[in-house]
Amino acid sequence: MIARSNVLNSPLMPPVKLIYSDNYDLNLGSHVFPSTKYKRVHDKLIQEKLAAPGDFLEPQPADDRDVLLVHTEEYMRKLKTGTLSEFELARLEIPYSPEMVNAAWLSAGGSILAAGQALAHGIAVNIGGGFHHAFPAHGEGFCAIHDVAIAVSKLLAEETIHHAMTVDLDVHHGNGTAYIFARNSSVFTFSMHQENNYPLDKPPSDVDVSLPDGCEDEQYLHLLRENLWHALSSFQPDLIFFIAGADPYKEDQLGGLNLTLAGLQERDRIVFSMAKEKGAPVAVTLAGGYARDVEDTISIHVGTVRAAMQVAGVT
Ligand SMILES: [Zn+2]
């Protein structure tokens, strides 16, 4: 039995809202994408007393009408009926299963919930999502539907917000995000990624910070501070979506940067601190993470939640 943290019990402290479902697991087995990571992050947050079991909000699957704000009807039908072509399945790079599709819809619902919670409370973390390689009519790179784009599009359509910024610090370029919002002046897309890595074709974001192979903490953090500050000074978002990939880590199997665990913690603190200084709420998604030791990936994601709590003043 784990005691509920007194700090988190305090009504005076602004809580960082956490969103999670056991059904986020994409049911991928021994795939390089460790799809059990969501549950392991959830469990470690409790184990480290950063959260109590009752602190997690359970998302509902995204409504199809919201999914259609981003994706085509034909693609949605193929996903729901298991009729993707061989080529489409190969491009998705994860095996098809009804659980995978359910998890994708649930992750999008989680990001919608995170956005609403962030607007109400300052920071919310979806312990899932960040499927930034999904395009309107196809999925790729482990990403079936684009949870962040769906959430942003819904809030814009409802006029809950008028301007959003995506801050994508996954090691891989946010190609789906850049493509989806290319002609939308209400959304500012910021991607900081390894240049010589997937995806080969990188549609331009509003700001692309292309990093050299082997980029280390000092250079990375310097570039992040400069470019993010500049972006936040030129565009005042009503909401930031932070795509907090764990794969810039030096031990990542699909990444070629050289960031340490401490460097990634500092990365997260910079994002939350700058957002706070600019008065912008932040919704977080986890995105990628393929460390040789999956425990490192879990620690990086837990570290993102810890950094959020530190900056929000909860811990
Ligand atoms: Zn990635």
Among 30-39, 46-55, 95-104, 122-131, name the one with the lowest average pLDDT: 30-39
Whole-number mean pLDDT of the chain?
93
Evaluate whether residue 58 is within a structural domain. Answer: yes
Residue 26: what pLDDT? Answer: 75
Evaluate whether residue 6 is within a structural domain. Answer: no
Evaluate whether residue 101 is within a structural domain. Answer: yes
End-to-end CA distance of the chain: 21
- Catalytic, 146? Answer no
> Is the separation of the CB atoms in 30 and 290 below 8 Å?
no
Whole-number Å distance, alpha carbon 247 to ligand 1 midpoint, is: 6
| Pairing status of strand 164-168 against strand 207-211 | unpaired
Whole-number Å distance, alpha carbon 127 to ligand 1 midpoint, is: 16
**Residue 38 maps to which CATH number?**
3.40.800.20
Evaluate whether residue 252 is within a structural domain. Answer: yes
Total domains in the chain come to: 1
Whole-number Å distance, alpha carbon 267 to ligand 1 midpoint, is: 16
Q: Which domain does 68 fall in, by range?
A: 17-312
User: Which is the catalytic residue, given 42, 71, 132, 133?
Assistant: 133
Model pTM score? 0.94
* Residue 23 burial (CB count, 10 A): 19
* Residue 34 burial (CB count, 10 A): 18
Whole-number Å distance, alpha carbon 287 to ligand 1 midpoint, is: 6
Evaluate whether residue 11 is within a structural domain. Answer: no
Evaluate whether residue 202 is within a structural domain. Answer: yes
Evaluate whether residue 92 is within a structural domain. Answer: yes
Q: Each residue of 71-122: pLDDT tens digit?
A: 999 999 999 999 999 999 999 999 899 999 999 999 999 999 999 999 999 9
φ/ψ of 220, rounded to 5, equals -60, -50
| Pairing status of strand 187-194 against strand 282-285 | unpaired
Evaluate whether residue 3 is within a structural domain. Answer: no
